[in-house]
Amino acid sequence: MASFLAFRIPKIMNQKSQEFLTKYLNNASPTGFEASGQQIWLDYIKPYTDSYFTDKYGTAVGVINPDAKFKVVIEAHADEISWFVNYIDDNGYIYVVRNGGSDHQIAPSKRVNIHTEKGIVKGVFGWPAIHVRDKASEKSPSLRNIFIDVGAESKQEVLDMGVHVGTVITFDDEVFKLNKKFWCGRALDNRIGGFMIAEVARRLHEEGKKLPFGLYVVNSVQEEIGLRGAEMIAARIKPDVAIITDVCHDTASPMYEKQLQGDQKCGLGPVLAYGPAVHNNVLKMLIDVAEKNKIDFQRHASSRSTGTDTDAFAYSNEGVPSALISLALKYMHTTVETAHESDIEKVIELMYQFIIQLPADHDFSYLK
């Protein structure tokens, strides 16, 4: 772990960018239904890029210097975990199936938005009162027993609301600040990444930086169900190098085992990943950039795969040298995902500094 505690990153996030982040996080973008969030993201990034394009499944890409032969990607994913309506019983209670890695244990008592063609239908995950539960045989929440109540008294009443099997559901929660330094809410995994790459584009534009290569700012869809959006867009762009940003666990928070999950903590800077998909020469350049610019960073080892879009880009085409910059996050896949504002700014700073020092046509090959 590098330590430059006396160094302070200049304030990067301004009022406009914080308003964008709030709007972007509060908008629902469940996997497979990311279009509204992607439009918010595109509207923000367009002034800072030369062109943009989207693919058929909704991945959005802003491009700086699109005619350049050498292509560099900075990437995040736009989708959030959610639920699908799976079954409606005769009394109007709704049972669900996951869309991504939604956590059944946090569901009881949560408010939800059910996204119908008629508009949002409000509901709640119900749960039996503590007074009537048998301590000796108390059941834990599971997909077999969690249910949503929309105030209906029959299946037909639910159907009349526009709710049917396959309707997508998100938690009804909005972002807020904890102690003036933590951003807290649902879907920081990984729309905070989409925010960070957009801020890199903004800074490049506002500081008038001219790049000797094409920069593709990529906000991919469908990461939460297997990196599918990244697979599709990597095949289309065919980049020469890719820097991915996602989140990782803050293992200093309660109930983690550092022997198994590593040692990462919010507030100590970006987390650089090690693993087979991470290209060592790209990683070394990131470390050199961090040390040169006195940016605090942490390290994390991934077994076999990173579980992020890094894997999709690295093994695409004929191989794309790739690296992963993670943001330490508390309470992943809950409605109170929590990230430190200083870490957010340092990830932006590290990506920015990496890009402005990268020479055109740099060869990251191990053997030459």
Q: What is the pLDDT of residue 10?
A: 53
Q: Any idea what the CATH number is for the domain that residue 191 is in?
A: 3.40.630.10
Last residue in a domain, options 122, 148, 171: 171
Question: Annotated catalytic sites, by residue?
Answer: 223
Residue 279 domain-assigned?
Answer: yes
Residue 138 sits in which domain range?
A: 82-171
Q: What is the pTM of this model?
A: 0.95
Tell whether 71 and 206 lie within a shared domain.
yes
DSSP 161: T
Tell whether 275 and 333 lie within a shared domain.
yes
Residue 69 domain-assigned?
Answer: yes
Q: Match 């990196």 to its residue by tokens.
A: 227
Q: Match 């610019």 to its residue by tokens.
A: 293
Tell whether 268 and 349 lie within a shared domain.
yes
- Are 269 and 297 a contacting pair, CB within 8 Å? yes
Q: H/E element holding 285?
A: helix 280-292
Tell whether 126 and 214 lie within a shared domain.
no
Q: What is the pLDDT of residue 11?
A: 80
Q: What is the pLDDT of residue 4?
A: 37
Tell whether 76 and 86 lie within a shared domain.
no
Last residue in a domain, options 118, 143, 171: 171
Tell whether 156 and 275 lie within a shared domain.
no
Q: Any idea what the CATH number is for the domain that residue 164 is in?
A: 2.40.30.40
Residue 362 domain-assigned?
Answer: no
Q: Which residues contact 207 (CB under 8 A, 6 or more apart)?
A: none
Residue 9 domain-assigned?
Answer: no
Number of compact structural domains in the chain: 2
Tell whether 74 and 88 lie within a shared domain.
no
Residue 157 domain-assigned?
Answer: yes
pLDDT of 185-212, one tens digit each?
A: 999 999 999 999 999 999 999 999 999 9
Residue 365 domain-assigned?
Answer: no
Q: Which residues contact 256 (CB under 8 A, 6 or more apart)?
A: 249, 250
Rounded-to-integer distance, Cα 313 and Cα 214, Å: 17
Tell whether 218 and 346 lie within a shared domain.
yes
Rounded-to-integer distance, Cα 116 and Cα 243, Å: 36
Last residue in a domain, options 145, 171, 197: 171
Tell whether 295 and 211 lie within a shared domain.
yes
* Cross-strand pairs, 340: 182
CA 327 to chain centre: 10
Q: What is the pLDDT of residue 14?
A: 93
Tell whether 49 and 92 lie within a shared domain.
no
pLDDT of 255-266, one tens digit each?
A: 999 999 999 999
Q: Which parts of the chain have pLDDT scores under 70? A: 1-10
Q: What is the pLDDT of residue 176?
A: 97
Tell whether 61 and 194 lie within a shared domain.
yes
Residue 8 domain-assigned?
Answer: no
Rounded-to-integer distance, Cα 196 and Cα 50, Å: 18
By the 10 Å C-beta count (0-12 exposed, 13-18 middle, 19+ buried), 67 is classed as: exposed
Residue 192 domain-assigned?
Answer: yes
Tell whether 296 and 250 lie within a shared domain.
yes
Give the CA radius of gyration of the chain. Answer: 21
Q: What is the pLDDT of residue 6?
A: 35
Number of C-beta neighbours around residue 190 at 10 A: 30
pLDDT of 74-103, one tens digit each?
A: 999 999 999 999 999 999 999 999 999 999
